Amino acid sequence: MGPGFDALGLALDLWNEAIFEANPRGDKNIHVTVEGEGVDKLPQNADNAIVEAALQIYERAGKACEGFRLRCVNRVPLGSGLGSSSAALLTGMLGANALLENPFSEEQVLKFAIEAEGHPDNVAPAMLGGLVGSVIHGERVVSIKLPARANRGPIHATVVLPDFDFPTKQARAILPKQVERKDAIYNISRAVMVTEALRTGDLDLLGMAMKDALHQPYRLPLIPGALAALEAGKEAGAAAVALSGAGPSLIAFSSKQNAAIGAAMARAFESAGLAARIFELSPSYEGAEVEIV
């Protein structure tokens, strides 16, 4: 979330679904089917990230996995900056926890997921919903859901995803090991303002605050057309535009859905030789849900 690098995350109304079923007695295999995003890339066997996460819960619970059936309906694009890996991690852990009749609380599952992911900015909003701030306190990660219901009016998010491979590991590797004091101050002050802008729905404040000195200057130039797309979104009416996560997606905020914003940003990517997809989304104030039937 712009200047809230690795500390602020916002849940969006874009959901993956997964159905876990216990196997008939005697079948100890893991059966996986995938639909939607990643259907041609994701392993449909025990190497699937959701299965790997589920097996971590079995191990923590000291239980042998007796096999299960997993059906995944994916709507979050892979490698997009929209938290697909965090969604998979939480899905596997919550699903396995339910199959084992909930030996762990949601707070414990969130802790396990953050430990596995290595940073909380995606996992915590996916679990809790809404705008979430996280801090590392000693060996603990504390995540707090912040007020963000925009009492001045709704906030709309347009996400534009270019067809560009920009793995999170690569996006992290290019960042400097040390930053200048002025850059740290620049981000700290704006991160505070971003939370206030989202709480109140003050889009003018959001436009001023949604700027960053710690990661965007290094990442944006590596994504063809991204700098032009960011400016195009603003010119088309977005109050603020930033990288979504580590990218390559850009996220633009406005008071209501405005097709011109996504179209302008997509054209900028296309001018750089990249096709782009547009997602019109809203903040989600609800997080991960488990239903047992």
pLDDT one digit per residue (tens) for the chain, 293 residues: 889 988 899 999 999 999 999 998 889 999 999 999 999 999 999 899 999 999 999 999 999 998 999 999 999 999 999 999 999 999 999 999 999 999 999 989 998 998 888 778 889 999 999 999 988 787 777 888 887 765 666 799 999 999 999 888 888 899 999 999 999 999 999 999 999 999 888 999 999 999 999 999 999 999 999 999 999 999 999 999 999 999 999 999 999 999 999 999 999 999 999 999 999 999 998 999 999 98
Q: Which distant-in-sequence residues (6+ apart) come within 8 Å of 174 by Cβ? A: 218, 219, 222
CA distance 131 to 215: 20
CA distance 86 to 91: 8
Closest CA to 79 of 9, 170, 2, 16: 170
CA distance 95 to 88: 10
Residue type, 77: P
What residue spans in the chain does CATH classification 3.30.70.890 cover? 148-281
What residue spans in the chain does CATH classification 3.30.230.10 cover? 17-74+84-121
Own/partner long-range contacts of 59-62 (Cβ < 8 Å, ≥24 apart):
60/104, 60/112, 61/100, 61/103, 61/104
Q: Which CATH architecture has domain 148-281?
A: 2-Layer Sandwich (3.30)
Radius of gyration of the chain, Cα coordinates, nearest whole angstrom: 19
Closest CA to 110 of 279, 277, 287: 287
pTM of the model: 0.92
| CATH of span 17-74+84-121 | 3.30.230.10
